[in-house]
Amino acid sequence: MNQTESSADAARSAQQPVLTIDKLSVALVGEHGPGRPVVKSLSFDVKAGETVCIVGESGSGKSVTSLAVMGLLPKDSLTPTGGRILLEGENLLEASQRRLRDLRTTGMAMVFQEPMTALNPVQRVGEQVDEVLRLHTKLGREERRKRVIAMLESVHLPDVERIYRSYPHELSGGQRQRIVIAMALILKPRLLIADEPTTALDVTTQKQILALIKELQTEQGTAVIFITHDFGVVAEIADRIVVMNQGSVVETGTRDEILAHPKQDYTRMLVSSVPSLIPHHRTQPTGETVLTVKALTKYYGSSKSWFGGATASGTPAAQDVDLILRRGEVVGVVGESGSGKSTVARCVMRLIDPNSGEINLNGTDIATMGRGALMPMRKRIQIVFQDPYRSLNPRRRVGESIIEGLLNYNVSRAEAESKARHALKTVGLPEDVYDRYPHQFSGGQRQRICIARALVMEPDVLVADEAVSALDVSVQAQVLALLDEVRERVGVGVLFITHDLRVAAQICDTIIVMQRGRIVEQGTAVEVLTKPRESYTRALIEAAPGRHWDFQHFRAVA
């Protein structure tokens, strides 16, 4: 073979996809063979150095596809029924379990959404990264340690010697995700699958993680499959996009083709559901004040004095926080992880006790109330949590979960059931939901049930702590519209905790920006997001993914 032919072969090899999925089908496992299909004749490929984003609503088959590639489909519930999955020409569906174990981390690796579920909580993170090398290489202990330290440095972790010795709970969410990425990439796999790896991260940490994946991808030529429901992220990183719905490919194309000129109605619906970063001009509520917080301060790690008072020692999580919430108003609290957003929400709910300050609920200070005196006040302030899957008891019918609070306040069962059915109607759910179980509903429906459970108490204040961050863009749009409608109809004041500036722009009347436990800026949503005064606020807006895209009109803007 001459040099010209060798060069041509090398060029052709470079153009070969790292991964080819050819007419893949996956079905539920039935008693008498394969049951209902969940992935249907799926085909796409990923080349070296390319990022392919897979988007679609929950249940579209995105994560099932990734698990099929990794050979991690649960054998008792899902099985491949056709097609091929080729990793550099090798059909993974025909590979033995031993071969698949060898290929994981060496040929392909996966980063999951929640790093705490991927890390052993009782093992130091350096040892966990070292374990990958110990199992898949013949390197000595000292050489492995050098490789791990170098990898931790390459993912831009600070003070890597300390990080190496740390346990997962001692690190932030962004640092834990970097550890998981280090574990995935330390053996330089040809394919990286990232399944919602930035969903729970604030915008600045998210920006760092995306830049890190891109940097490592450029250095190592890694092919990346990125599964996400965040179209801002898609706009930032995608080379090509695969749109899935109910197990089938709806549309594929380049980033600009899909985001600027979608051909299919389903794709247009998804893209147009992405909230804009530009807030609407809203008439500021002028109703009565339902919640006033003054000089709220909370220290973690503080101790109690001999006389029962909390000392001011420890780590400050919230300091001198002031806010006012009026009836029918939505006040958003935004900031990075560790900024104090959730601490403020938990103090307001009295789920934790503040060290000092006032929390006036309809004129009554509940900040220092004992548990007995606080009990009658709790019905006036309710909360909707981030994860609708963990917020409902899976063993109780929906109706029983909704009426539980009313029964605790001595409302008769007949009246409680009547109010519960009315609350379900208020959130757009049919009455037959009452007698069904949580597992029979989608994530968006479950969150509606959680909102109904909060509203049935007829509260003056509703705290929404990242209530839509885990939802698909289409479901997110529906829940945001529901909260806005309920706020107008019922007049409840909403304290809205979020790290997503797009969501804050669409629903909030007032925005409070927090950093390191303190309020750095507050004002109307229009003022804060279009004319920010503080450099920190400007940095948050700059970090918002896809901020140069107007998803509402399917075109890029300058």
Find the mean pLDDT for residues 425-447: 85
**Following DSSP, what letter does each residue of 128-159 receive, concatenated?**
HHHHHHHHH----HHHHHHHHHHHHHHTT-SS
Find the mean pLDDT for residues 549-555: 61
Band of pLDDT at residue 134, cut at 50, 70 and 90 = very high
Angle of CA points 423, 411, 431, to nearest 5°: 25
Residue range 503-538, pLDDT digits in tens: 899 899 999 999 989 999 999 999 999 999 999 999
pLDDT at 14: 52
Residue range 471-488, pLDDT digits in tens: 778 878 888 888 888 888
Angle of CA points 505, 461, 471, to nearest 5°: 45
How far is Cα 200 from Cα 177, in angstroms, rounded to an integer?
10
> Is residue 42 helix, strand or coil?
strand
Mean residue pLDDT of the chain comes to 87
Q: What percent of the chain has pLDDT over 90?
A: 53
pLDDT at 557: 40
How far is Cα 475 from Cα 58, in angstroms, rounded to an integer?
9
Provide the residue count of the chain.
558
Angle of CA points 365, 371, 375, to nearest 5°: 75
Whether 495 contacts 331, CB under 8 Å: yes
Whether 264 contacts 246, CB under 8 Å: no
Q: Which two tokens stand for residue 530?
A: 């279009």
Task: Please determine whether the domains at 14-116+190-273 and 316-552 fall in the same fold group of CATH.
Answer: yes
In this structure, what are the phi and psi dihedrals at residue 519, rounded to the nearest 5 degrees? -80, 125
To which CATH superfamily is domain 14-116+190-273 assigned? P-loop containing nucleotide triphosphate hydrolases (3.40.50.300)
DSSP summary character for residue 431: G
How far is Cα 367 from Cα 388, in angstroms, rounded to an integer?
28
How far is Cα 467 from Cα 449, in angstroms, rounded to an integer?
12
Q: Alpha helix (H) ranges present in 186-238? A: 203-220, 231-237
In this structure, what are the phi and psi dihedrals at residue 77, rounded to the nearest 5 degrees? -135, -25
How far is Cα 500 from Cα 200, in angstroms, rounded to an integer?
10
How far is Cα 74 from Cα 72, in angstroms, rounded to an integer?
6
Handedness of CA 510, 498, 316, 207 (dihedral sign): negative
Name the residue type at position 527.
E
Q: Give domain limits for the chain.
A: 14-116+190-273, 316-552
Strands of the 90-91 sheet, one edge to the other? 33-46, 19-30, 78-87, 90-91
pLDDT at 552: 62
How far is Cα 524 from Cα 539, in angstroms, rounded to an integer?
18
How far is Cα 528 from Cα 188, in angstroms, rounded to an integer?
43
Whether 116 contacts 168, CB under 8 Å: yes
Query: Which CATH number is 316-552 given?
Result: 3.40.50.300
Q: Among 197-211, 219-233, 360-374, 389-403, whose mean pLDDT is lowest?
A: 197-211
pLDDT at 5 over 60: no
How far is Cα 442 from Cα 444, in angstroms, rounded to an integer?
5
How far is Cα 518 from Cα 335, in angstroms, rounded to an integer?
10
